[in-house]
Structure 1
Amino acid sequence: MRSQLADLFYKNAAEMPDKQAIWCDGKTATYQEMANRVSRYSNYLVAKGVQYGDHVAIPMNNSIESVALFFSAADLGVCLVPLNPTLPLESIKVAMKSGDMKHLIARKSFLNECEKKGGVDVPGITVCLDGEFEGAFPFSEVATMPTTRPACENIKGDESLILTMTSGSTGTPKPIDISQQNKIDRSLAHIRVYGLVKEDRILAATPLYHSLAERLVIMPLLLGATSILLPRFTPALWLKCAAEQKPTFTIAVSAQLAQILELLKQENTESIDSFHTIVSSSALLEEKVKLELIDRLQCEFHEMYGTSETSTATDICFQKARNKQKSVGLPFDEAEVKILRDDEDTECAVGEVGEIAVKSKLTCKGYYKLKNMMDMATTEGLFRTGDLGYMDEDGYLYFAGRKKELIITGAINVYPNDVDAVVNQLTAVEECAAFSYPDERLGEVVALAVVVKEDCELTERTIKTYCAKNLADFQQPHKIFFVDMLPKNTMGKLQRNRILDHIRNVGIDK
């Protein structure tokens, strides 16, 4: 049996060969051109000795080539392991070892950097995507390959398609094993929930080594829609792309949307009116930010909750549930969400904060070669996410923060998001984050890192006075640090567990 995922793509190419399949950084490809590219890539990999079940590392950049490789991998029953090319070499090596990489496909700049620092060895082939490199096969040879699909009839659907690298609290890579069927099921679920059709133009603006962008480029090509892939994110590039390419749907990281709004507020910024739906992920946006985005973009605004392991679990449309504005929504049809008590399997009462647990048909195969770790995180089919939340009487989920970010001061739980929400109301605050600070008497206390808006002034006394009026005694920040920036990952997501190290590294912890 052939790959169903690849079949869906090739079927679209046969039915609408001249339709635009993808745009990226000024380059485009029709469905027929994309199909020819995928077939050539597949034949090239087979010719170089890549076999069914092999794992291929690719330090991934956002490009049409990268997207085509996803479909070639599916057609061959090969597993791609997208890596962040900006990671330190040692981190790359650890990730490659944990994912059993056999082959490496990379750009010349990456291979050059690796060579300077001792190189990266793989037991199989190394391919240079954009030129020649000693010891590597040049990818330019794909031009000579046939455009017919290679014979690969043993695909069952449960083959690993992508290993997404994530890290636990120890920093040890946990490769999330996502099968071909996982990707199909996740795509179909999102197509249904957001009412996507072939006429849609779907924008991806996060790095392809993250699962969000992978979903946003694979989904349109399975649907027969058009993929719009931003080569990298800046708010200016996003707005320029939106104005010129007229995307109709996207899922964006909340931090990106906040930056986009700030630029939209500036004079002479071109209006954007092509979207019918925008979905915010990763962190709950402030209500005033949502309202301003809706006013300026004139589209449905959704928020979602999910994990890389489970995919999206809940969704809410802001305009259709105005009395649930702090919620992240109701479960997808594929998902069951429960709130479990700490270190127990018992379910929390309505309104009681506990650990969010998800049972979903969209859940990944597991952690590659770490079955025990997945088993430990699963209770009767419910994946314990490590996130805290609660459910209301109508079954809506509310996110309260990360379990490992919980501040326990004098045996009382403080949820940092609650502190953030209050301090962010100060007009001079650009952004802030509450975090745990060690204390001899209480074990830990609430500390606060604050970024002040440009051309604004803010004092510690002003913050403490405001907090005294708006927060409970146990939530009061004991220490306040003014910083130029908060530590974030490549997706712009706050890394709260790095704040203490950050303030110590910059020498402001007294």
Structure 2
Amino acid sequence: MGSIAELFFKQVKEKPDKTAIWCDGEEMTYGELSSLVCRYAAYLKSRGVERNDIIGIPMNNSIESAALMLASAAIGAGLAPINPTLPEEAIKTAFEAGRVKHIIARRSFWKKFTFNGSTGLRLCLDGEAEGCDTFDSVLSSEDRIPQMDGITGDETWILTMTSGSTGVPKPIELTQNNKLKRIEAHIRLYDITENDRVLAATPLYHSLAERLVMLPLTIGAESILLPRFTANLWLKCASEQRVTFTIAVSAQLGQIAQLLSSPFAPDITGFRSIVSSSALLEPHVRTELIKKLKCDFHEMYGTSETSTATSINFREAESKQQSVGQAIPEADIKVINDEGEGLPSSEIGEIAIKTGLIFNGYYGQRELTDNAFTQDGYFRTGDLGRLDEDGYLYFCGRKKELIITGGINVYPYDVEQAVSQAEGVKECAAFSYPDDRLGEVVALAVVKEEASEISERSIKLYCAKRLADFQQPHYVFFLDTLPRNPMGKLVRNKIFETVRAQEA
């Protein structure tokens, strides 16, 4: 199929005047985007960026971010996109794990953060910052398609930052070949063509948006990138940009369905197909969306490490409405016990996946990578599920203690590490609390020090200064003790039961 950049430049040659990408009211044709990509590539090479170097980009969704993805692909460099709202130490730790050598960011980032470990280029995209090149350096670079003869596709291209149970970063390494295989699979699975307008409405520091932005640019379709998600903004964009395809997280779709019930909701019946991901979509929401949009409606299951592993079209599989579908052609799925042994159909266990779309490993962490697989090569997802006799997978919850709020992963340990340092807190535990809008949100159980006068308000104010927006606790409960087993280990799944009993 060729490299990512080669496929993009092929489309540039064939349709230079077609709109390639739209974001926040700004759009570029394939020719205009190519010019920006070429200038970025020339600038990066002139500043000493080499194949397999990692560039950190703590940036929000923008055309510049998409152009950087293509430019890095063209010269064989890698990108480590990361949420710019994370605390400074979290970003530093992630960049250290990803061996980031160069950093490209906006002025707001450079005003707040300093990195002594970065030895390469520093670029400020929207003004001047101490020790940084300005965007003029990019604009003055050569507008010529770079030579890509030495690019094999096996170079590290994207590091998606996630964390383990200890909060230690686990950079998910994806090569261009990894991404291309995933793009090919989704084109076949959802019949995506050059006539589609594909919407990405999740952050570009997550693998879903990366895929949705790049896919259309490799086949001559149109990439629609939402700068940030609100249900109103999503609906407005989908209507005005005449979006035909998207993969959305279920929490987003729940909010969208609510607004669609209004007689003043915009017309978004141009959709050909919608895919729900990240968490199970409530059946009544799915029914409402299918009724109103009259398009193919899919649900998929997968992980950042495996990509999509199952898919179901609910308009075609009426008897399997509670499942997340059958394995796609590239994947094989089984349900295993703790010893890695396969379980019979209908028995719940850990979902394990063997797929041609598998990631390249946790960057620089070979032992962690090896431990993520069974002896026969299946990736352990940490999720629970069951398979029926027809091979349909039913998702049954998470084995890990991950909290997914609005499609973004929150690790309890990260929240606890911050809150445990607050004055008056004896111990604390973060846990998932159901939420109609976001699917689930972060809640805190806190045991006070004796005579402490801390309150829910003081805890939330403390967290506001030390945690990212998506990590903020929506609820704070004060308990006399945290539930523990006889070995003294925290029984996290008992906390919700305890606080609900307290609320009653």
Q: TM-score range by the shorter chain?
A: 0.7 to 0.9
Percent pairwise identity: 53
Partner of 1:146: 142
Matched, 1:279 2:275: yes
Q: Is the 8 A contact 1:93 1:120 kept in 2?
A: no
2:155 equivalent in structure 1: 159
Spell out, residue by residue over 1:316-354, the C-alpha distance to the aligned partner (whole angstroms, 9 max, x if none): 011111110110001111101011112x12210110001
- CA apart distance, 1:153: 2.3
Deviation at residue 270 of structure 1 after TM alignment: 1.7
Aligned to 2:34: 35
State the SS of the aligned residue for 2:99: coil
> What letter matches 2:70 in structure 1?
F
Q: Deviations over 1:390-437 (max 9, x none)?
A: 00000001100111359xxxxxxxxx99xxxxxxxxxxxxxxxxx9xx
Give ranges in structure 2 of 5+ residues lacking alignment: 405-411, 413-430, 438-459, 482-497
Match of 2:213 among 214, 217, 226: 217
Q: Distance in 2 between matches of 1:452 and 1:234?
A: 15
Conservation of the 8 A alpha-carbon contact between 1:355 and 1:389: yes
Counterpart of 1:53 in structure 2 is 52
CA contact (8 A) 2:173 2:361 kept: yes
Query: Which aligned segments of 4 or more residues in structure 1 are displaced greater than 3 angstroms?
Result: 447-453, 489-492, 498-505, 507-510
1:16 equivalent to 2:15? Answer: yes
Q: Distance in 2 between matches of 1:232 and 1:21?
A: 19
CA 504–364 in structure 1, closer or farther in 2 if over 3 Å, else same: farther
In 1: Cα distance, 2:395 partner to 2:139 partner? 50
* Cα 1:504/1:89, change in 2 over 3 Å: farther
In 1, are the aligned partners of 2:87 and 2:468 still within 8 Å (CA)? no
Using a 3 Å threshold, how does the CA distance of structure 1 residues 490 and 120 change in structure 2: closer, same or farther?
A: same
Which blocks of at least 5 consecutive residues in structure 1 are unaligned? 407-415, 418-434, 436-446, 454-484
TM superposition shift of 1:22? 0.5
Cα distance in 2, alignment partners of residues 161 and 54 from structure 1: 9
**Contact residue 59 and residue 106 of structure 2 kept, 8 A:** no
Q: What is the CA RMSD across the aligned residues, in angstroms?
A: 2.8
Are the structure 2 counterparts of residues 450 and 48 from structure 1 closer, same or farther at C-alpha, using a change threshold of 3 Å?
A: closer
Q: Given the alignment, which residue of 354, 371, 386 partners 1:359?
A: 354
SS of 1:90's equivalent in the other structure is: helix
How many pairs does the alignment contain? 431
The whole-number CA distance in structure 2 between the counterparts of 1:181 and 1:450 is: 38
Q: In the alignment, residue 184 of structure 1 is paired with which amino acid? A: L
Q: 1:98 to 1:205 in 2, by over 3 A?
A: same
Structure 1 residues 149-188: aligned runs within 5 Å: 149-188=145-184
- Secondary structure of 1:336's counterpart equals strand
**Secondary structure of residue in 1 paired with 2:128:** coil
Residue 335 of structure 2 contacts residue 349 of structure 2 at CA under 8 Å; is this kept in 1? yes
Distance 1:250 1:490 in 2: 27
Q: Give CA deviations for 1:119-171 in whole Å, capped at 9, x if unaligned.
A: 55411111101111110011222222221123342211111100000111111
Please state whether the residue corresponding to 2:113 is helix, strand or coil: helix
Report what 1:477 is aligned to: none
- SS class of match (1:358): strand
Evaluate the alpha carbon distance shift between residue 448 and residue 303 of structure 1 in structure 2; reply closer, same or farther with a 3 A threshold.
closer
Specify the alignment match of 1:376 in structure 2. Answer: 371
Q: Which secondary structure does the structure 2 equivalent of 1:112 belong to? A: helix
Classify the secondary structure of the residue corresponding to 1:132.
Answer: coil
Instruction: Report the CA distance shift for 1:500/1:451 in structure 2 as closer, same or farther (over 3 A).
Output: closer
TM-score by length of 1: 0.80
Name the SS for the 1:398 alignment partner: strand
Q: Quick one: distance in 1 between partners of 2:435 and 2:287?
A: 23
The equivalent of 1:345 in structure 2 is: 340
- In structure 1, C-alpha distance between the alignment counterparts of 2:351 and 2:435, rounded to whole Å: 30
- Which residue is 1:432 aligned to? none
Q: Which amino acid aligns with 2:361?
A: G
Give 1:248-267 correspondences, 5 Å limit.
Answer: 248-267=244-263
- Give how far 1:3 is off: 6.7
Residue of structure 2 equivalent to 1:321? 317
Q: Which residue identity lines up with residue 89 of structure 2 in the other structure?
A: E
CA 381–315 in structure 1, closer or farther in 2 if over 3 Å, else same: same
- Mapped partners of 1:128, 1:60: distance in 2: 11
Per-residue deviation, 1:14: 0.2
Q: Which residue of 2 is the match for residue 304 of structure 1?
A: 300
Counterpart amino acid of residue 222 in structure 1: T
**Distance between the aligned counterparts of 1:75 and 1:452, measured in 2?**
43
Partner-residue secondary structure (3-state), 1:315:
strand
Pairing partner for 1:131 from 127, 131, 140:
127
**Is the partner of 1:284 in helix, strand or coil?**
coil
Q: Give the match for residue 410 of structure 1.
A: none
2:229 partner amino acid: F
Alignment of 1:181-200 (within 5 A): 181-200=177-196
SS at match of 2:358: coil
CA distance in 1, matches of 2:398, 2:77: 34
Deviation per residue, 1:210-251 (Å, 9 max, x gap)? 111000000000111000000100000001101100000000
Any idea what the Cα deviations from partners look like across 1:58-109, whole Å, max 9, x if unmatched? Answer: 0021111100111100111100000100000000000000000000000001
Q: 1:392 is matched with which residue: 363, 388, 393?
A: 388
CA distance in 2, matches of 1:244, 1:501: 37
Q: For 2:297, what is the secondary structure of its paired residue? A: strand
Q: Distance in 2 between matches of 1:51 and 1:346?
A: 44
Q: Which residue of 2 aligns with 1:69?
A: 68
1:157 to 1:502, Cα distance in 2 relative to 1, 3 A:
farther
Report the TM-score, using the length of structure 2 for normalisation.
0.81
- Counterpart of 1:472 in structure 2 is none
